[in-house]
């Protein structure tokens, strides 16, 4: 078969057998058509709302290699390049990239996505056939989600070691190999996720008892293979992508392991249904206390060769391109924020300006602003590392001990320090608890009294979101508390601590602050859906066998569908999945009217699940009455649904404002469901949740 050129990319068919032996089916043609259309990948993913489009086209896939020290003097080999999820990042960073992939269809997708790259060649065919023709001077060889298929590429009694030894032959003298792979003991598999490659529960935990196409390893297992292939301990560097390597938002290392409370983004079943067996955040916290995180990390990134400078990376690119950055810790004493696009350089410049503006507002005795330095080309901004404990850690500690008064005292101290800078020309919206480090005065002990001492130092380490207006200290303090609660539903206990009374926030002010926060988030994301929203839209079920997830306010499926009536009744065309906010869901009526192009709304229908269930309404704010339900009211805000289509209908009086909804859902057996009434006209008032 003749070689093919698409744009600047060459597809080498010398070893292509003429047919694809690996394919996801018709969806791959749909993906190719979408790429050829030139439509924005993010919009395509949102429109399709399915796993293959998200997995193959999401730019967030690049995070796993974006932190690697690759420059234009380097030559990179990517084995198993697929549809090009990683290829684009490698092409932008390296001087030359050679790809190997079994599938012509996927390689066509890859080539069309990156056709402007003039430094990429794609070898199409079986790796074993192509390998003898590959050069032996690659500075980096990447296997991202590929090493686990070693037994499919290579024959023999020890295919994984053989595979690695073959790759090793193609390295330059100072070259490295990067392997990203799932951990068979990853906590998500114990918690109820199916094994990624086989789609069965506990398959890796049971050491793959069946005939499987892939096999993953623990950290110890991976390092043993590397040792068998002659890699010394000094040349083996393990990293921990979180929540996993596919959509990594944070990279940890031995030098910078997760902190307790940091691992809270765990509901990640994009590809298939899952069970909900326990709270993974709490389990991770316990694992961290026992210092066993490496054993249970969901994924690994093993670097064989020279140790990279970066020991930690936190990505903020699930938002608009001009604000996409990554925060990296290098060598343990330097923090760098790096622009992930040329358009994001202006965002870094604004941060440098923010430092100058904020430094003149806050007295050092109240709140220090961590200094920064912008690089000459504007692509990076660096900060000194600030030691101590974050306010988030201190608050979590008080919450865990149920120390209400300690929590209140620390929150009051936070408010007073923020208030010391009130009235300036600019305001720092980024003063959330995780961005304030307390050091000195024995703050490391977690003692609130010590943290509040005048000789303790409170430092704002991040000021990405600064606005040119004087925002009251109470709104900044409220936003910090609001963000704190949204990140973990267990934190809702602090709603009973009377914290808003401390800062003097009225009910009307609270509604105003929430509406402003919603507008702010829309500006940050530029309307793009977050990964959490995409998970809801894809709609894979989360089957709660504990009652904890439902009791926390989410349905057993973890999703809510909302329909609206604009005078012509409800229909699928007039429906959407609202964004999850903490334990519930939230959307703005005006935004829905704008999105769907309708002038007026008459009613809303909430579908909390798609099976017979008992549903308790936590909140449908600002509505006080249910006009119709497809089940029977059996208690105060509690309904029994014998139908597989439970729903509530509310009439709309005010056509603006924020709507919040939360439900507790418990599935019921079919034999009981058949005996239940199917409709209710209850108009009893609902109880409104605090906050």
**Rg, Å, the chain Cα set:** 27
Angle between helices 391-400 and 404-419 (to 10 degrees): 160
548-566 per-position pLDDT tens digit? 554 333 333 457 889 999 8
Structure tokens at 298: 């969901």
Percent of the chain surpassing pLDDT 70: 93
Specify whether the CB–CB gap between 630 and 673 falls below 8 A.
no
Structure tokens at 125: 């065919």
Residue 300: what are its φ and ψ, rounded to 5°? -130, 155
Q: What is the DSSP letter of 578?
A: P
Specify whether the CB–CB gap between 659 and 588 falls below 8 A.
yes
Q: Long-range contacts: 585-588, Cβ < 8 Å, 24+?
A: 585/560, 585/660, 585/661, 585/662, 586/518, 586/658, 586/659, 586/660, 586/661, 587/562, 587/658, 587/659, 588/515, 588/518, 588/656, 588/657, 588/658, 588/659
H or E stretch at 378: none
Which residue is associated with the tokens 């990156």? 114
- b/e burial code for range 629-655 (CB count within 10 A of at least 16 → b): bbbbbeeebebbbbbeebbbbbebeee
What is residue 542's predicted lDDT score, i.e. its pLDDT? 82
d(CA 300, CA 218): 9
d(CA 246, CA 51): 12
Nearby residues of 138 by Cβ (< 8 Å), 6 or more positions away: 75, 76, 77, 98, 170, 171, 172, 175
Structure tokens at 295: 């054993």
Which residue is associated with the tokens 């720092």? 428
d(CA 678, CA 643): 6
d(CA 143, CA 179): 5
d(CA 292, CA 7): 49
Mean residue pLDDT of the chain comes to 88
**For the chain, what is the largest distance between any 2 Cα atoms, rounded to a whole number of angstroms?**
76
Q: What is the DSSP letter of 579?
A: E
Cβ atoms < 10 Å from Cβ of 510: 16
Torsion (CA) 595, 596, 602, 604 in degrees, nearest 10? -70
Nearby residues of 32 by Cβ (< 8 Å), 6 or more positions away: 105, 108, 109, 112
Question: Distance from CA of residue 453 to its chain's centroid?
Answer: 36
Specify whether the CB–CB gap between 83 and 22 falls below 8 A.
no
Which residue is associated with the tokens 């084995």? 79
What is residue 354's predicted lDDT score, i.e. its pLDDT? 94
d(CA 652, CA 153): 60
Q: Long-range contacts: 45-51, Cβ < 8 Å, 24+?
A: 45/534, 46/528, 46/529, 46/534, 46/537, 49/534, 49/537, 49/538, 49/539, 50/538, 51/270, 51/271, 51/272, 51/538
H or E stretch at 221: helix 219-228
d(CA 561, CA 565): 14
CB burial class (10 A; 0-12, 13-18, 19+) of residue 569? exposed
Of the candidates 253, 190, 256, the residue with the CA atom closest to the CA atom of residue 219: 253
Structure tokens at 249: 């938002």
Q: How far is CA 280 from CA 51, 182, 243, 540, 547, in A?
A: 23, 17, 11, 18, 15
Q: What is the 3-state secondary structure (H, E, C) of 632-682?
A: EEEECCEEEECCCCCCEEEECCCCCCEEEEEEEEEECCHHHHCCCCCCECC
Which residue is associated with the tokens 């440098």? 352
91-147 per-position pLDDT tens digit? 999 999 999 999 999 999 999 999 999 999 999 999 999 999 999 999 999 999 999
Residues of the chain short of pLDDT 50, as ranges, are 442-446, 448, 550-557, 680-691
Of the candidates 193, 177, 148, 200, the residue with the CA atom closest to the CA atom of residue 76: 177
d(CA 505, CA 421): 18
CB burial class (10 A; 0-12, 13-18, 19+) of residue 440? middle
Q: What is the dihedral sign for C-alpha 673, 679, 683, 688?
A: positive
Among left, alpha and beta (phi > 0; psi -120 to 50; other), residue 492 is alpha
Of the candidates 337, 330, 257, the residue with the CA atom closest to the CA atom of residue 290: 257
Question: Distance from CA of residue 50 to its chain's centroid?
Answer: 17
Cβ atoms < 10 Å from Cβ of 594: 10
């Amino acid at each position: 078969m003749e070689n093919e050129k698409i744009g600047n990319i060459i597809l080498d068919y010398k070893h292509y057998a003429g047919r694809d032996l690996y394919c996801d089916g018709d969806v791959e043609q749909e993906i190719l058509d979408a790429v050829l259309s030139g439509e924005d990948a993010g919009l395509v993913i949102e429109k399709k709302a399915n796993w293959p489009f998200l997995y193959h086209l999401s730019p967030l896939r690049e995070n796993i290699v974006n932190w690697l020290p690759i420059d234009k003097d380097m030559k990179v080999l990517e084995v198993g390049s697929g549809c090009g999820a990683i290829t684009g990042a490698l092409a932008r960073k390296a001087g030359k990239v050679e790809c190997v992939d079994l599938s012509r269809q996927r390689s066509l997708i890859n080539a069309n996505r990156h056709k402007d790259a003039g430094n990429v060649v794609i070898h199409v065919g079986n790796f074993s056939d192509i390998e003898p023709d590959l050069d032996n001077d690659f500075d980096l060889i990447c296997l991202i989600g590929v090493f686990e298929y070693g037994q499919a590429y290579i024959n023999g009694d020890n295919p994984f070691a053989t595979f690695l030894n073959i790759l090793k032959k193609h390295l330059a003298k100072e070259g490295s190999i990067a392997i990203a792979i799932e951990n068979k003991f990853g906590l998500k598999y114990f918690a109820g996720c199916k094994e990624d490659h086989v789609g069965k529960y506990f398959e890796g935990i049971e050491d793959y008892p069946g005939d499987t196409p892939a096999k993953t390893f623990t950290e110890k297992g991976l390092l043993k293979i590397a040792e068998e292939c002659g890699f010394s301990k000094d040349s083996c560097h393990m990293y921990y992508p979180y929540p996993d390597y596919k959509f990594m938002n944070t990279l940890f290392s031995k030098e910078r392991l997760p902190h307790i409370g940091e691992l809270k983004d765990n509901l990640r079943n994009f590809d298939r249904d899952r069970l909900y067996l326990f709270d993974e955040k709490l389990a991770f916290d316990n694992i961290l206390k026992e210092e066993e995180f490496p054993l249970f990390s969901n994924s690994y990134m093993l670097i064989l060769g020279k140790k990279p400078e970066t020991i930690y990376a936190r990505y903020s690119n699930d938002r608009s391109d001009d604000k996409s950055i990554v925060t990296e810790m290098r060598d343990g004493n330097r923090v760098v924020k790096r622009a992930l696009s040329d358009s994001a350089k202006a965002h870094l410049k604004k941060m440098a300006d923010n430092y100058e503006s904020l430094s003149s507002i806050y007295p050092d005795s109240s709140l220090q602003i961590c200094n920064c330095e912008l690089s000459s080309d504007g692509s990076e901004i660096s900060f000194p590392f600030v030691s101590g404990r974050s306010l988030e850690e201190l608050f979590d500690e008080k919450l865990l001990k149920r120390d209400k008064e300690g929590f209140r005292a620390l929150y009051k101290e936070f408010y007073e320090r923020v208030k010391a800078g009130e009235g300036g020309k600019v305001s720092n919206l980024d003063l959330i608890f995780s961005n304030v480090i307390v050091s000195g005065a024995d703050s490391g002990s977690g003692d609130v009294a010590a943290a509040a001492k005048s000789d303790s130092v409170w430092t704002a380490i991040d000021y990405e979101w600064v606005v040119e207006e004087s925002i009251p200290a109470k709104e900044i303090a409220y936003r910090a508390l609001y963000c704190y609660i949204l990140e973990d539903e267990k934190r809702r206990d602090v709603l009973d601590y009377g914290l808003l009374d401390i800062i003097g926030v009225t009910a009307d002010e609270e509604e105003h602050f929430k509406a402003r926060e919603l507008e702010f988030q829309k500006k940050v994301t530029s309307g793009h859906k977050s990964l959490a929203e995409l998970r809801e839209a894809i709609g894979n079920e989360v089957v709660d066998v504990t009652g904890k997830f439902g009791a926390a306010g989410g349905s057993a499926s973890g999703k809510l569908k909302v329909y609206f009536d604009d005078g012509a009744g409800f229909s699928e065309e007039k429906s959407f999945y609202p964004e999850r906010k903490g334990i519930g869901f939230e959307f703005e009526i005006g935004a829905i009217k704008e999105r769907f192009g309708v002038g007026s709304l008459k009613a809303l229908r909430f579908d909390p699940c798609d099976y017979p269930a008992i549903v308790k309404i936590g909140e449908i704010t600002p509505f006080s009455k249910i006009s119709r339900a497809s089940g029977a009211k059996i208690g105060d805000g509690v309904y029994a649904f014998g139908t597989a289509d439970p729903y509530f209908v509310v009439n709309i009086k005010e056509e603006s404002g924020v709507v919040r909804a939360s439900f507790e859902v418990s599935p019921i057996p079919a034999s009981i469901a058949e005996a239940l009434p199917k409709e209710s006209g209850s108009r009893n008032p609902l109880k409104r949740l605090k906050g």
